[in-house]
Amino acid sequence: MNTRREFLKIGAMATLAGCATTPRSGEGPLIVNGIQIGVQMWSVDDLWKKDPAEAFRRLKALGYDGVQSFGFLAMDHSELEKMLNDYGLKIVDMPFYMKTVAPDSFNKFLEFCQRFNIDFVFEPYSKFATGAEWRRHADELMEVSEKFKKYGIRVGYHNHQHELRQQFDGKTPIEYLYDAGLAMELDVGHVTLAGGNPVRWLERLNGRVPTIHAKPGGGNSVGGKGDANEWKSIFKTAATSGTKWAIVECETRRYTFEDVEASAAFLERLKI
């Protein structure tokens, strides 16, 4: 009986250990070809809002140095600051919506960015039905860019797939944004899934991509099964183009740390 109880106890402990986030084999932060690695909290959205401190701890243990989420804006900023400091994490860039940077809310958003030393903000999504609307919106974003410029903050746009798939007057939405001179948080996974070439876009946007979203081009994790991204070429070109951060976003299974863990392990092994 004692032997059986010990066996069951050991088995239960092993099960719990298997559920925990396994620290990667290396030490220190994840850095690929000089580019720091962060996480978009949407990757674990079903988990992190229940216990932000625990989520930050687990992500830091995996080697991530930065975190990103529009949800940070609604948190108690002092508590958020303490948690980030406790686990040695930085907020990397900040999404905004047009209402967030409207005259009645601009100062609140600016104060947040200044408090957390954020120097790049971006619109995470827009969709329009005509080329004229895209051209007008690109101009609006450039006006927002002028407002932030005096504070040393750049303004950009985060692409999904429709900006490369749709065409209006012979041009895709991403080309309207490019022509306006806007910076980009290039989501390389969406570019690949839309049939585009992330390397070509990084070359074309040289100096205008401070951050990329390292989203799998298929599958669940960066470098995992089904991911069609050519990561060596992407990181090599991104570094040449002036990119400072790559933000891992695994959005197919937001109820587990497994995919951000697998992504960290792959990036640790990636040799440029």
Using one digit for the tens of pLDDT, what is the confidence trace for 20-73? 444 555 578 999 999 999 999 999 999 999 999 999 999 999 999 999 999 999
The whole-chain average pLDDT of the chain stands at 92
Whole-number Å distance between alpha carbons of 121 and 114 = 11
∠ CA 63-67-69, nearest 5°, is 155
Residue 269 has pLDDT above 80, yes or no: yes
Q: Collapsing DSSP states into helix, strand and coil, what is residue 58?
A: helix
So what's the pLDDT on residue 196? 98
User: Could you tell me the pTM of the whole model?
Assistant: 0.90
Record the tokens describing residue 249, joined without a space. Answer: 């976003």
Using one digit for the tens of pLDDT, what is the confidence trace for 79-94? 999 999 999 999 999 9
End-to-end CA, the chain: 55
Whole-number Å distance between alpha carbons of 112 and 118 = 8
Nearest to 201 by CA among 167, 237, 226, 169: 237
pLDDT band at 10; cut points 50, 70, 90: very low
Using one digit for the tens of pLDDT, what is the confidence trace for 211-244? 999 999 999 999 999 999 999 999 999 999 999 9
So what's the pLDDT on residue 28? 80
DSSP collapsed to 3 states, 119-170: CEEEECCCCCCCHHHHHHHHHHHHHHHHHHHCCCCEEEEECCCHHHHCCECC
Q: Output the CATH code of domain 28-269.
A: 3.20.20.150
Nearest to 135 by CA among 96, 178, 74: 178
Residue 173 has pLDDT above 90, yes or no: yes
So what's the pLDDT on residue 23? 52
For the chain, percent of residues with pLDDT exceeding 90: 89
